[in-house]
Amino acid sequence: MEWDFSTAEEMSASLRAGEVTSAELTDDAIARIERDDKWINAVCVRDFDRARAAACRADEARARGEDRPLLGIPVTVKESYNVAGLPTNWGMPPHRDYVPTEDAVQVSRLKAAGAVVLGKTNVPFGLQDVQSFNDIYGTTNNPWDHGRTPGGSSGGSAAALASGFGVLSIGSDLAGSLRTPAHFCGVYAHKPTLGLVASRGMVPPLVPAVPTDPDLAVVGPMARTARDLALLLDVMAGPDPLTSGVAYDLVLPPARHQRLRDYRVLVLDEHPLIPTGAAVRAGVNRVADALVDAGARVERHSPLLPDLGEAATLYTQLLFSSSVARFPVEAYEQLRTRAAGLGADDRSLDAARLRGMVFSHLDWMEANSRRELHRQSWRHLFTEWDAVVCPVTPTPAFPHDHNPDPRERRIDIDGVEYPYFDQLVWAGLATMPGLPATAIPAGRSPEGLPVGVQLIGPMFEDRTPLRLADLLEQRIGGFRAPK
């Protein structure tokens, strides 16, 4: 049997039945990486010797009668997670040789669940791009078109999954870093509710791995099916034992519905600050049509929806207010001078980015208060709706663009250019209020590139968009391997 694009569920069933061993699955994955990754460059740090040893231990454990959720399953890990004995540099040359001595809490949970870690996947410099390239490990290519990006910052993980380099991966998401690569590569990803999944040890080099409560960022699962995504979230979910006092199983509410026809879904494909490209709009419509055909309640407008323009501006300000935390004083003063020169009537996202970079603490508190009002609006919305379907970004994967000044980059939407970072507004729709969002495949562009959408759900009801993703996969299909 070919295992390259099998699911974790299929692998687990075959392992339990004695039809395959973890050693065989691991050797198969390693052989594929060694054969094909020269064109993709997804797995930037290989740990094959330890992976083979872990696979042998998994086989021995199974022979003793053990059966853990991921026992013997080969996986990858985003480079930004600390893995004891492997470099963690976030693509930053000054930290090329930094090697942590302790696993991140999520790496520990993977290993405790029995997973076999093959290695680490590529990221952009400092995790600060919608692409995945850096001066240490080079550029990761999209498996569907090597001239295009797989996305970022979890682009290496998405490219690895789409290439058959392991069956699961873990990444992180601040500005769509799980969902955008999934959309660009035709796989699945889930941005959990803010605070649901402990992130200790997913930190820049030399930063202490202590429990924190990130303002916007989360860590989460990536997979090739919705059911595998839910399986991996179950392994990852739960508080940090250093803050909760004990490690315990977190009980999430069940999905609101088990049948497509029972779902109430609000569908969005228009944003006031940026157009939606035709290929992505077609993907949204394909999902909407499937829901209608299944008998679900589907609408395109709701008075309960928070103002999308205000939400995008608020998200942009909060996102970029944290991006300058470690800037030198001189650079910060230059930003203050530029921000002071903005016109009072300049409400562009470029202006929001610049204003956010020089936020005072009072500015941030006011923005946070407005965020709470948006959260309240979302709570009201989810009394009438179960999920929101919308784009992840306005376009499919775009060509590599390594202009060192991101402000000079542009994103092409059906022949019209827009500022590069404006494409983040759809990802920010779920990130700013901390809502769960599941990215799913939704077809192909006319050029044959993957197109995805995201399913946004109610806070701490992650199982609702995950179940909707599973039902839609059964209806319209899901991941397809690139040729």
Inter-residue contact 393 to 280 (CB < 8 Å): yes
Q: Which of 6, 177, 199, 321 is catalytic?
A: 177
Residue 177 known to be catalytic: yes
153 is catalytic: yes
CA dist 231 and 368 (Å) reads 33
Q: SS3 string of the chain?
A: CCCCCCCHHHHHHHHHCCCCCHHHHHHHHHHHHHHHHHHHCCEEEECHHHHHHHHHHHHHHHHCCCCCCCCCCEEEEECCCCCCCCCCCCCCHHHCCCCCCCCCHHHHHHHHCCCEEEEEECCCHHHCCCCCEECCCEECCECCECCECCCCCCHHHHHHHHHCCCCEEEEEECCCCCHHHHHHHCCEEEECCCCCECCCCCCCCCCCCCCCCCCCCEEEEEECCHHHHHHHHHHHCECCHHHHCCCCCCCCCCCCCCCHHHCEEEECCCECCECCCHHHHHHHHHHHHHHHHCCCEEECCCCCCCCHHHHHHHHHHHHHHHHCCCCCHHHHHHHHHHHHCCCCCCCCHHHHHHHHHCCCHHHHHHHHHHHHHHHHHHHHHHHHCCEEEEECCCCCCCECCCCCCHHHCEEEECCEEEEHHHHHHHHHHHHCCCCCEEEEEEEECCCCCEEEEEEECCCCCCHHHHHHHHHHHHHHCCCCCCC
Catalytically annotated residue among 12, 14, 80, 153: 153
Catalytic residue among 14, 78, 157, 172: 78
* Active site (annotated) includes residue 78: yes
Q: What letters, b where the CB count within 10 A reaches 16 and e where it falls short, cover 274-286?
A: bbbbebbbbbbbb
Q: Which sequence positions are flagged as catalytic?
A: 78, 153, 177
